[in-house]
Structure 1
């Protein structure tokens, strides 16, 4: 399968957008336990990637953070790799 140049970046935007939603929504929209389970599952899936793919995601996350105009969302993207366990603490 030939990779589309923007595929990884676009899919990562989707993952970040959904995890931002889980992080930012209040209890009236989504139960905290459900949100946490979904975020943990996303972290689990991302951690199944090879080290090379994780490095590529880190590069893409840096680009996403640099392009983000909303300060709170930019901060979330900047901390995403750590929160998902993609980088050591």
Structure 2
């Protein structure tokens, strides 16, 4: 049950991040989009290293399962999120 919940939540975050990253300027102010992506990164950085690795593993699975939709975005985003070795304060 917990694994299914984690997967669903990670998919939701990835979908939101993709929206913020790719939406047209007429839909969302670019500064607001960047703030939201930074907020997601900040929250992600607060996870324990083990939890971050678990989330990254789910993201890699999502990217492998649907490369056309998620592949390019997650390849970059995983690198950015994985760059933090320690939680940010």
Give the helix-richer structure, 1 or 2.
2
- TM interval, shorter chain, is 0.7 to 0.9
Q: Following TM superposition, where does structure 1 have runs of at least 4 consecutive aligned residues deviating by more than 3 angstroms?
A: none
5 Å-filtered alignment, 1:1-89, equals 4-70=2-68, 73-84=70-81, 86-87=82-83
TM, length-normalised to structure 1: 0.85
TM, length-normalised to structure 2: 0.85
Alignment root-mean-square deviation, CA: 1.5
Unaligned runs of 5+ in 1: none
Paired residues in the alignment total 84
In structure 1, C-alpha distance between the alignment counterparts of 2:3 and 2:54, rounded to whole Å: 13
In structure 1, C-alpha distance between the alignment counterparts of 2:59 and 2:67, rounded to whole Å: 14
